[in-house]
Amino acid sequence: RRADRGAFSGRTSFIFAAIGSAVGLGNIWRFPAVAYENGGGAFILPYLVALLTAGIPLLFLDYAIGHRWRGSAPAAWRRFRRWTEFIGWWQVLIALVIALYYALILAWATNYMIFSLDQRWGDDPNAFFGQYTQALSGTDVHISFDVVPAVLVSMVVVWIATIVVMALGVQKGISASSVVFIPLLVIMFVILVIRALFLPGAIDGLEALFRPHWAALLSPGVWVAAYGQIFFSLSVAFGIMLTYSSYLKKRTDLTGSGLVVGFANSGFEILCGIGVFSALGFMAQAQGVQVSEVVSSGIGLAFIAFPAIISEAPAGALIGVLFFGSLVLAGFTSLISIVEVVIAAIQDKFGLSRISSTLWVCVPLAVVSTALFSTTMGMPLLDVLDKWVNEYGIVAAALVSTIVVTYVVRGLPTLRDHLDHRGTFPIGRWWLVCVGLIAPVVLGVSLVSSTISLVTSPTTYSGYPGWFIVVFGWLMALALLVAGIVLSLLPWPATSNLFKDD
């Protein structure tokens, strides 16, 4: 019997989908500030080293496992070795949690894209945290189901769009939307960059970003930041790239595709740096302050700084639509990649059709996500989940997978041969060193250093109540691993795709 898992029609479809996943909010709102804070122009060196010694090698590892063992994360890891199935479920659960809150960011961006037409946020720089999200903060944080109507409507729209795309399947849904959205994103962002470059003060912003601080290269923290940015930005070790590569034809050049994806993502990241810092340079000049005083990242950059820029800049509405539109497109193609990890796992486990697995996964996911996050606790909940899922989910899962593959199973040579079989170039020994040594060391160091900073900080993270951090941070992260182990102990029904060939 054959499994009906879906497939990419070819390498180009796969590359677009993979770029769609990689290019996300991390490029737009994370990279510029990370580069600025870690050496400016000099950051390019650790960044490239991280890309070549860990990002691309781990991307190849994901590809090799997914493609060689042809399955969703749990199925592929189980076929690799029966007992490594838990890593797959762990990745599925991480993806599940990310999907829950990622939709909220998309909902905000969708609303702000519309708000920027008439600058509906007004003159209050805190409109986002205030009248718009009505977010609980600091010690006021508590369990709340007070719905914020504007966010609710937007979240429902995001989930409906997601369900439609996912139901259309791997080629007609996931790949087709990336084939349309990624070029559109690039066009929109290039126009934004050109507009921003001509704003007064833009050059000061660029100077602040690119001026190299070579001494920074002596600081280990800068190197950890570079690896952290690369791991996050390439979506490695999430199970995403593993799942996507399982939809490729058996004879496919994996390594050539990986290089395209890696460099496309980094190229877009640099473009984002230019656009964001031109805009920040304008903002600094308009407010008569130094660029260093207006640098921000994440939510603050997108929903506080950019609205201010849009309100002050000539043709602000255009900048707003392009900027928030870019966030929506970049975020959407990442969200669908995260959701696919879960859908693929359920489809494989129960041997379901595409439509049934989509509905079984997405309907509960959409309901829970909307119920939890369109409320006044949405923002702090997202804040804590994101922090712990990144530090202890993704980083720990990546660490465990590299150690298990390299030292416990000693599976790297087989996977290398698989990559070399069809690859454009032999990946050679450097890959073994990168995956077996460099990546685990760096991942271990960042795990330890973030634990030290979280545990020794005089206040709890963001000043939230202790129980909130314990429950939604520490216990949540631990629960993902434990639940992953439990799920890996459950039997696979006879109807599952594990017993069908693809």
Q: Which residues bind ligand PHE (CB under 6 A)?
A: 21-22, 24-27, 98, 232-233, 235, 238, 240, 334, 337-338
- Pick the stretch among 2-10, 227-235, 422-430, 450-458 that binds Na ion (CB under 5 A): 227-235
Min dist. Cβ of residue 240 to ligand PHE (A): 6
> What torsion, rounded to 10 degrees, do the Cα atoms 334, 340, 341, 347 define?
180
**Which 26-65 residues touch Na ion, going by CB under 5 A?**
26-27
3-state secondary structure of 375: strand
Contact 345, 75 (CB under 8 A): yes
Minimum CB separation of residue 392 from ligand PHE in Å reads 15
Please report how close the Cβ of residue 15 comes to Na ion at its closest, in angstroms: 15
User: 3-class DSSP state for residue 40?
Assistant: strand
| Cα 117 to Cα 127: distance, rounded to the nearest angstrom | 16
The residue (of 77 and 232) whose beta carbon lies closer to ligand PHE is: 232
Report DSSP letters for 130-168, one per residue: IIIT----GGG------B-HHHHHHHHHHHHHHHHHHHH
Give, in degrees to the nearest 5, the angle at Cα 422 between 420 and 425: 55
Query: DSSP per residue over 93-125, as a string?
Result: HHHHHHHHHHHHHHHHHHHHHHHHHHTTTTT-T
Question: Token digits for 394?
Answer: 């993704």
- The SS3 assignment for 288 reads coil
The answer to whether the beta carbons of residues 171 and 294 sit under 8 Å apart is no
**236 or 469: whose CB is closer to ligand PHE?**
236
401 binds, among Na ion, ligand PHE, none (CB under 5 to 8 A by kind): none
- Residue 337: which of Na ion, ligand PHE, none does it interact with, CB under 5 to 8 A by kind? ligand PHE
Q: Which is nearer to ligand PHE, 144 or 390 (CB)?
A: 390
CB of 32 to ligand PHE, least distance (A): 12
246 binds, among ligand PHE, Na ion, none (CB under 5 to 8 A by kind): none
Q: Is 233 in the site for Na ion (CB under 5 A)?
A: yes
- Binding partner of residue 468 among Na ion, ligand PHE, none, CB cut-off 5 to 8 Å per kind: none
The residue behind tokens 């929506």 is 328
Residue 116 interacting entry, from Na ion, ligand PHE, none, C-beta within 5 to 8 Å by type? none
By the 8 A CB rule, do 342 and 365 touch? Answer: yes
Contacts (CB under 5 A) with Na ion, residues 236-275: 265
* C-alpha dist (Å) from residue 57 to 64, 230, 232, 266: 10, 11, 14, 15
18 is an interface residue for Na ion by CB under 5 A: no
Partner whose footprint covers residue 497, from ligand PHE, Na ion, none (CB < 5 to 8 Å by kind):
none
**Cβ proximity to ligand PHE, 97 vs 248, nearer residue:** 97
Residue 334 binds: one of ligand PHE, Na ion, none (C-beta under 5 to 8 A by kind):
ligand PHE
**Interface with Na ion (CB under 5 A):** 22, 26-27, 233, 265
